[in-house]
Structure 1
Amino acid sequence: MGSPPDRTNQTLAAHMTEAGLTPRTLAREINRLFGPGTLAETAPYHWRDAGGIPRPPLPALSAYVISRRLGRIVTAGDLWHGQPDTADGTLVMAASTGLDGPWTLTSTMLVAEDWLLGGLVDRRMFLSVSGTALAQAVNIYLDVHLPADGTMLPAATPDDPLVDQIEASVPRLQLLDDERGGASGLGYVGAQVRAVLLVLRDGGHTDATIRRLLVALADLAQLAGWKAFDAGQQGLAQRYFFTGLRSAHDAGYRSMEGHILADLSFQAASLGDADDGLRLGDAARRVVGRSAASVRASVLSRLAYAQAVAGDVEQCERTWADARDQLAKRHPDRDPEWMYYLTPNHLDCQAGYAMILAGRQIVAGGSGADGRALLRKGGALLRTGAYARPPDAPYQRRALYEGAWLALGYTAHGKLEDACAVTRMALPRLEQVRSPRSTALLVALEQEFRRRKRNQSVADVLPDLEKALAHQPA
């Protein structure tokens, strides 16, 4: 009898080897980026060794992960010859594509043209970037010396009804995000970004009106980026953040520059890219050195999270204390409008879930006593927050996110009854909040509960949690 035919997908195998990925680590990276349970850890062995072709969207997700590791675009068609790159004509491109020009208003308008050409039904899938590519996209902020304060456009301007209307919409959209989550209304906010870009491109504005439009664009792009991040669309989030950075820089809008850099830091750290999180967080801290105390405090809170992800818990606690000290110096009349949400308790809860994350990492690493001490500290901070507020109270997305972290902290500490009680409070929020970032935490909690089904409290709540997650929009 002859030897069986070799069905190995040599192209996929070569790309995985170059990216430093085994089948199991490829599956784990897909699950980390796109949610636990997206893929069985053994599935890529079948793809590589037996010529298996995964069902959509797994080819695109695999290409995404490998591209991120290699720092260049790899398509599904590159990995599975004869297969279409995508079923719907989506173009995959890096979030930083076309953003390597000089930091000038002219370059920003080229970025604007790119958004407008994309249209409202944008068929592009943006690939998030890290490491060198991310550094290149924000290079001006990583230099030792900070840039000048932008173009020095005048701050005062005559009344302009259209600009008035644009500015008035921003706070309302921010409040909607607080209540409904990032996946709710993301397309609408993206349309508002394009609308402002259209007004800018029309031209004929005074310098003062241009500055107002750039400030509004920075506010909206930051909001769109944050919503995309909360919705799990990491590359799109970066694309919006990069656009907001450029418009804020053009307007000399230093506080928003730092705010967006801190968002990028938090995003990187949340994805496990601790080095990027630390570098961006430090840049944000330098940029807001002369901004309002509340802005400095907010930026420090994001840096503290990156420090926790990096395993530097002592520095995380020092930075958190520094953030609280800064907020104590707050002068409300100096606050930007978008800093309405920041309170001492909000800072404490941010530190709380940073400590729970670090504590879980330490427990998993085998240092149970040290990890549990952090879990206790993080849990105590989160219990002062929003997790128990009624479903009709404000800030439901925050309540869902903090509740999910508190439940994960209790589970890691073996306090299963407490974890189940907190989960019960979180479930009704899923009916009104669309926050895949929060849902991913609950999916992780679901998986941990399944391993503890012998506990009666877990057995009682698990079916309700599974049902609630199963009804979440894709």
Structure 2
Amino acid sequence: MRREPNRLLQQHLAEAGLSRKGLARRLNDLGLTRGLAGMRYDHGSVLRWIGGQRPRDPAPKLLAEIFSLRLGKPVSAEDIGMSRGAVPLDLGQEFPHSWQEGVASVTALWRADVERRKFLLDSTFALGAGSAGIARWLTIPAEERLSADGPRRVGVSDVTAIREVTRSFSELDNRFGGGSIRGPVVKYLDTAVTPLLRDGAYGEATGRALATAAAELTRLAGWMAYDLEQHGIAQRYLIQALGLARGAGDHGLGGEILAGMSHQALYIGQPRHGLDLARAAAMAAERSGVFSLLAEARVLEAHAFALLGDGAACAASLHRAEVAFDRRSPENEPKWIGYFDEAYLAAKSAHCLRDLGDGAAAVRQARRSLRMDGRYVRGKMFNLSLLASALLQQGELEEACTAAASALDVAQGLQSVRTRSYVADMRKRLQPYAAEPRVAEVLARA
């Protein structure tokens, strides 16, 4: 969708005698005086606004204030082409500069999602979206204190409620897929979490707990969108979840979100981007000391190398993943990484080996992956499909059909577009053997 240039902003720049760089500097300075230390706009930001983008709140209001002072007359956000009701088409794709900007961005994203705004439904994965902000987070520590003095008191019970909702919805997602429950998750974020973030009163400890809880649930909503192959929406949610995690100063959760972003990039065929994200996840994991997360980041790194055809680098990353896995102590790690166990590591290793053409090793790892927690129904379907494809590489046609049939049995109860994609992949791999009666039977079911 093409944006209309913001001629009102151009006119005010010319009238005020300001350069793009000068306006950006004044905005950053004004933000700093208002406690918004994270603002780091530059001339390129202003150029994008002239091109039709709208910056996140509270930037439009601050820009109007700058022009008012410069011109000696009242100037509103509407006067510079940044009306409050306008929603930027890149909403959620930019990593927030500050906590206040992040709250404005993520709550606007939830609202647009509830309203099923067309620009959001039609959005696609944007390569590199949020990358500059991610690099900024990894290299520049958060400076601001997380406290607020709004009209609504936020307490421990509010944070506990969000975490309990996240736990319940996560269990349902693993059992049934994201199709039937993503809507209620987004609605809860919009109706229950938005007031806490926007109007809350809390001190430092409660503020960080609230940011962490909101980040976990936002991440889950993004993961559900990924499961539905709504990749543009998923990417925006994961970027904003990462912003919330940064606000909380939670490097471990940030690394887990980066790992999820890497997972998505690899799935849609962007291994180089996935590799960058996996390495960023590893950096965050090392800072946090969560070794299960470090193992996950390394095995994602290995998968990226496998998709790039670099067997030696893949093997080195798999070894590093196993070393990190051996150092983990699950009882001392956050609950959100509880899914990452020996079966999960085996499944990701099997993906690497299969994609490198090592069918025998892939079969061994795929068999190990099936010794998994029964609550992860969707994961079981994926792992059965993986075993079927690895067995086909080895020419074990009968056993591959048995595994494929089992995968189809599990898939029947799932509302997951990724599940359908796995089924389509099995069909494609089985098609060359369609003349075999057992294969024809599985293909008919698929």
**TM-score over 0.5 (shorter chain):** yes
Provide the rounded CA distance (Å) in 1 between the counterparts of 2:134 and 2:193.
Answer: 25
Structure 2 CA distance, aligned partners of 1:311 and 1:192? 43
**SS of residue matched to 1:451:** helix
C-alpha contact 1:277 1:303 (8 A) present in aligned 2: yes
Q: Could you tell me which runs of 5 or more consecutive residues in structure 1 were left unpaired when the two chains were aligned.
A: 1-71, 74-90, 360-373, 466-474
Contact 2:359 2:394 in 1 (8 A): yes
Partner residue of 1:141 out of 129, 134, 137:
134
Tell me if 1:458 matches 2:439.
Answer: yes
With normalisation by structure 2, the TM-score equals 0.73
The aligned amino acid for 1:382 is: A
C-alpha separation in 1, matches of 2:293 and 2:412: 32
**Counterpart AA for 2:98:** T
Alignment equivalent of 1:104, drawn from 93, 98, 105: 98
Counterpart residue number, 1:403: 384
Match of 2:256? 259
Contact 1:140-1:146 at 8 Å conserved across structures = no
Provide the rounded CA distance (Å) in 2 between the counterparts of 1:343 and 1:239: 28
Match of 2:109 among 105, 108, 115: 115
Aligned to 1:284: 281
Contact kept, 8 Å, 1:230 with 1:436, in 2: the verdict is yes
Give the secondary structure class of the aligned counterpart of 1:204: strand
Hey, what's the Cα distance between the residues in 2 that align with 1:220 and 1:98? 16
* 2:207 equivalent among 185, 207, 210: 210
Change (3 A) 1:184 1:323: farther
Paired with 1:211 and 1:237, the residues of 2 have a C-alpha distance of 24
Alignment match, 2:18? none
Equivalent residue number for residue 305 of structure 2:
307
- 1:438 paired to 2:423: no
Q: Please point out which of 157, 162, 165 is paired with 1:166.
A: 162
Contact (CA 8 Å) 1:262, 1:299: kept in 2 or not? Answer: yes
Which residue is 2:291 aligned to? 293
Distance 1:325 1:115 in 2: 39
Alpha-carbon offset, residue 144 of structure 1 = 10
Q: Per the alignment, in what secondary structure is the counterpart of residue 286 of structure 2? A: coil
The amino acid of 2:189's aligned partner reads V
**Partner Cα distance (2:102, 2:124) in 1:** 20
SS in 2 for 1:288: helix
Count of aligned pairs between the two proteins: 354
Is the 8 Å Cα contact of residues 258 and 285 (structure 1) preserved in structure 2?
yes
State the shift of 1:153 in Å: 4.2
CA distance in 2, matches of 1:298, 1:345: 12
Unaligned runs of 5+ in 2: 1-51, 54-85, 148-152
Aligned to 2:430: 449
- Counterpart-to-counterpart distance in 2, 1:145 and 1:187: 32
Q: Deviations over 1:47-88 (max 9, x none)?
A: xxxxxxxxxxxxxxxxxxxxxxxxx99xxxxxxxxxxxxxxx
Q: Where do residues 35-434 of structure 1 align in structure 2 (5 Å cutoff)?
A: 96-97=90-91, 99-100=93-94, 102-118=96-112, 120-123=114-117, 124-131=120-127, 133-134=128-129, 137-142=130-135, 146-149=139-142, 151=144, 153=146, 160-194=156-190, 195-291=192-288, 292-359=290-357, 374-386=358-370, 393-434=374-415
Tell me, in whole angstroms, the C-alpha distance in 1 between the residues paired with 2:93 and 2:339: 31
1:152 Cα deviation (Å)? Answer: 5.3
Cα distance change of structure 1 residues 167 and 150 upon mapping to structure 2, 3 Å threshold: farther
Whether the 8 Å CA contact 2:179–2:415 is kept in 1: the answer is yes
